[in-house]
Structure 1
Amino acid sequence: MYLEGHKRKFLVVVDETPECESALAFAASRAQRTRGQLALLYVIEPEDEAMHWLGVEDIAREEGQSKAKAVFRLFGRKLKAMGFEELVPEEIVREGNKADEIPKLIEEDQDIGVLVLGASKDPSGPGPLVSSLAGGRLAGVFPTPITVVPGHLSIEEILALA
């Protein structure tokens, strides 16, 4: 990521949780301020084992791809609304378990320098992804720094901090 022609990427795992917008705001602001790149990852998680017959798996995969495109469009609009009109994120779709696919992607793409996650403000915990990656067994051996954006912060506060 430090060689000429490369940009440090801020990776955000996007889905339909409210905390994703917090992670998006922080990562977009850091990418813009440091002349980096924003990368959005959508992971199509596998359905149960019964779906491997009669083409159901193919249909589920197509639906997952369609959903990924819709989520990318949504977050593209959110970026523009936050004032990041010129920031064009890289859109990445993977299939598998999120906790497995994120480190695999980071190992494959040496330009990814930071994983940005949004923490839930739910009193039951920060969310499964934050718990498994930032606070779990992988925290000490994760291939990049992980930034966790607190869920109680407003977008304006996040942009000011970034």
Structure 2
Amino acid sequence: MPSSGLPSEQTAPAERFKFLVCVDGSPQSRAALRFAALRARNTGGLLALLHVCEPVDCHGWMRVAETMEAEQREEAESLLQDLAGEVWALTGLIAELHFRRGGIGSEILEAIREDGDIHALVVGAAPATARKGKLISWLAGELAGSLDIPLVIVPGNLTARQIDRLA
């Protein structure tokens, strides 16, 4: 039988499931990270970490805004490197690191649109208060219907042992 030049099912590389985790260093984002890292390891998948900083709002003070944005970026890069080290120590996986600036919801959507290998969005949930829980509420309400990948919400109050059993 002549070859079509296309890989056969047996020789095509297996698609690897990539988990995108939104991280900010909070206990709930660390719970989400632990779950996603272990799930990626246990399924032969990949892991991407995303940290989003809101734009700095300093009308008329461009230098101040530039300095603040540079400091935010340094802090974000340090956080991402620290979390990547935790992922490596826990699973042996090398995580992709992504930093974005903008509205958190729109930047999450854009990151998913840009990377067709992302198959699940993983976020950590804090107990809802006036300040906390806005992202989860927005994701579950406004975004969930437009996502074409699963949204996994990990309760931030789970213990490491509970997360390990679930992953």
TM-score class, shorter-chain normalisation, is: 0.7 to 0.9
Are the equivalent residues in 2 in contact too, given 1:103–1:143 (CA < 8 A)?
no
Structure 1 gap ranges (5+)? none
Runs of 4+ in 1 over 6 A off after TM superposition: none
Cα offset, 1:124, TM superposition: 2.7
Q: What percentage of aligned pairs have identical amino acids?
A: 39
Identify the residue that residue 87 of structure 1 maps to in structure 2. 93
What secondary structure, in the 3-state scheme, does the structure 2 residue paired with 1:113 have?
strand
Task: Write the mapping of 1:78-117 to structure 2, written as runs, cut at 5 A.
Answer: 78-80=86-88, 83-84=90-91, 86-117=92-123
Identify the residue that residue 45 of structure 1 maps to in structure 2. 54
* Matched letter for residue 78 of structure 2: A
Cα offset, 1:27, TM superposition: 0.3
Q: Distance in 2 between matches of 1:144 and 1:156?
A: 27
Q: Distance in 2 between matches of 1:37 and 1:159?
A: 17
What secondary structure, in the 3-state scheme, does the structure 2 residue paired with 1:74 have?
helix
Structure exhibiting the larger radius of gyration computed from Cα positions:
2
Are the equivalent residues in 1 in contact too, given 2:28–2:157 (CA < 8 A)?
no
Among candidates 127, 138, 146, match of residue 133 of structure 2: 127
Task: Write the mapping of 1:19-30 to structure 2, written as runs, cut at 5 A.
Answer: 19-30=28-39
Task: Write the mapping of 1:52-71 to structure 2, written as runs, cut at 5 A.
Answer: 53-71=61-79
Q: Distance in 2 between matches of 1:30 and 1:119?
A: 18
* Matched letter for residue 115 of structure 1: L
Q: Distance in 1 between matches of 2:13 and 2:58?
A: 45
TM-score (norm 1): 0.86
Q: CA RMSD in A?
A: 2.0
Cα offset, 1:80, TM superposition: 4.5
* Matched letter for residue 53 of structure 1: W
Q: How many residues align?
A: 155
Q: Distance in 2 between matches of 1:49 and 1:107?
A: 30
What secondary structure, in the 3-state scheme, does the structure 2 residue paired with 1:55 have?
helix
Q: Distance in 1 between matches of 2:150 and 2:128?
A: 25
